Amino acid sequence: MNQRHHPHWPPHAPMHLTLPETSLFYNAEVSAARFPDKPFVVFYDTPLSFAAFKDQAERVAGYLQQECHVKAGDRVLLYMQNSPQWIVAYYGILRANAVVVPVNPMNMGAELAHYVEDTGATTIVAPQCLFNHVEPLMGDGQRPGLRHAIVATYSDYLQQPSSIPVPEFVKAPRQSFGRPGVTAWHEVLERRLAPGPLTAGPDDLCVMPYTSGTTGKPKGCMHTHRSVMSTLLGGCVWFGSQADSVALSVLPFFHVTGMQGGMNSAMFSGATIVLLARWDRDAAARCIEKYRVSTWQSISTMMVDFLSNPQLGDYDLSSLTATRGGGAAMPDAVAKKLKTLTGLDYVEGYGMSETAAGTHINPPQRPKPQCLGIPVFDVDSRVIDPLTLLELPQGETGEIVVNAPQVMQGYWRNPQATAQAFVELDGKRFLRTGDLGHIDEDGYFFMTDRLKRMINASGYKVWPAEVEALMYRHPAIHEVCVIGVKDGKRGETVKALVVPAGAQAGTPSEQDIVTWAHGQMASYKAPRIVEFVTSLPKSGSGKILWRKLQEDDAARTAAAGEQTGGTPG
């Protein structure tokens, strides 16, 4: 008798996932054949059908091959905000049998130069508003660099007046760039160049997202069509996505969560995505109401902002049947507010660029708050001692490791980093996530923190994520980030940077928060220092940049020590 490997496994889902032996572009061919006239993308009220999408992707592929001389396996940079062009370019690159390299549109000159140099890419797809960062990297035939740039204008895909607020950079009229190697998007489509045969298979490289670079220069994660297929199909099966689903797609596509949950899964199932180029809580609510959005994948910072909108009650959100996400634990108070408002749980999951999104997801019928979830299809995940590499018993904190079909092949041209990222256990290759966590009595995984984000206060180990989750219970706290700072007596102490809730600004005081925190948690965990700030810096994928805050605080302390002739701490 078949027994599910977890007592709370979704009852509708099989234990094992058989992956298609096809490339990702085949998914576009299938959906275009099944639903030719159905909208795949709705972009500020302008629809793009599956058939039109496939046609445009093939035109881009033909241009890449015939004019940009892109060959199978070549890397092509994709550097823009969420837009129909982003998705068309992604599938066009795949149709050319090449490899997509998604680039955070917040990156600038030196950061973008690293992508060009590291990948060896000679072609980039970018929007006109970012071309000033691209142009200095264009080679002249005598020196290495980019040879070809396809420059897109977002407003090309605004074909009718929109009832959804459109950002200014999306409305901007078309510009012209008169220099060799640069071609406007509309000219690429007008050329109608046909691509050669589709030769990419499941084991060929498909997409190469880069890590955030918190431990050095960003590294490219080599994913095949098979590893990407694993999480996009897994998401469809886990959550029951189907052709008549309507998804609000607001997570950035350059990040694997948005790429898989907000784009590739919908392509596979034939669902419609309602697309925003930039997060806007009123635009999101209006889209949910107008297009009867059924599923919405977000990150916790988006949901916090969405639910704090004083006009939220003016919108009809009754079409929503599922909300989910990850990136950071959803504060319990926010999850309860969502539940009260919509009747829905926020289903959290966990994944990395190295795993093309989710390896752990909460069962939709039995989620737990602030929880990574359970290992999904064909994932072997364990908690080990990061030093001895021995597996730890249930309840003990250690490093989470993963063996799964969605795990990357390795880091691009970086065998040393690849070797450090993997460990062999029981004859199997496991990815070391660098995340600390534990498994509870029900088999659910919980993250304690990043491996190097521990605060050692007087010998006590403090995990910032745990402290943050507790602090979100205070009604005056809108957002919080906990960091470790030097302390002459304790070695390190706990500091909280707090963005006050709008209506609560000014009351209570910083000291009131310190006093309250000491009544909510063990004294060694409670922040000894609270600083009110107007905002917290975030990555392009919406994660709070705790490391930057910690480094900035240390630099200020050191500078103050030098000015007074003393030593910091």
Whichever domain contains 480, its CATH number is: 3.30.300.30
The DSSP code sequence of 306-352 is HHT-TTGGGS--TT--EEEEESSPPPHHHHHHHHHHHS--EEEEEEE
Question: Of all helices (H) and strands (E), which one includes residue 34?
Answer: helix 24-34
The domain boundary residue, chosen from 200, 218, 244: 200
| Average per-residue pLDDT for the chain | 92
Quote the domain boundaries for residue 479: 454-564
Q: Is residue 238 part of a domain?
A: no
The domain boundary residue, chosen from 176, 200, 224: 200
Q: What is the pLDDT of residues 386-426, one digit of tens each?
A: 999 999 999 999 999 999 999 999 999 999 999 999 999 99
Q: Is residue 276 part of a domain?
A: no
Q: What is the CATH number of the domain that holds 69?
A: 3.40.50.980
Q: Is residue 217 part of a domain?
A: no
Q: Is residue 130 part of a domain?
A: yes
pLDDT tier at 2 (50, 70, 90 boundaries)? very low
Instruction: Over range 198-211, report the average pLDDT.
Output: 97
pLDDT over 50 at 234, yes or no? yes
Total domains in the chain come to: 2
Residues in the chain, overall count: 569
Do you find a cis peptide bond into 364, omega within 30 degrees of 0?
Answer: no
The domain boundary residue, chosen from 163, 183, 200: 200
Q: Cα separation of 191 and 95, whole Å? A: 17
pLDDT for res 540 = 83
pTM: 0.86
Least confident of 148-152, 329-333, 374-378, 495-499: 329-333
Q: What is the pLDDT of residues 256-307, one digit of tens each?
A: 999 999 999 999 999 999 999 999 999 999 999 999 999 999 988 889 899 9
Q: Cα separation of 14 and 79, whole Å? A: 37
Q: Is residue 382 part of a domain?
A: no
Between strands 75-78 and 99-102, the pairing is parallel
Q: Is residue 64 part of a domain?
A: yes
pLDDT for res 506 = 67
Q: Is residue 185 part of a domain?
A: yes
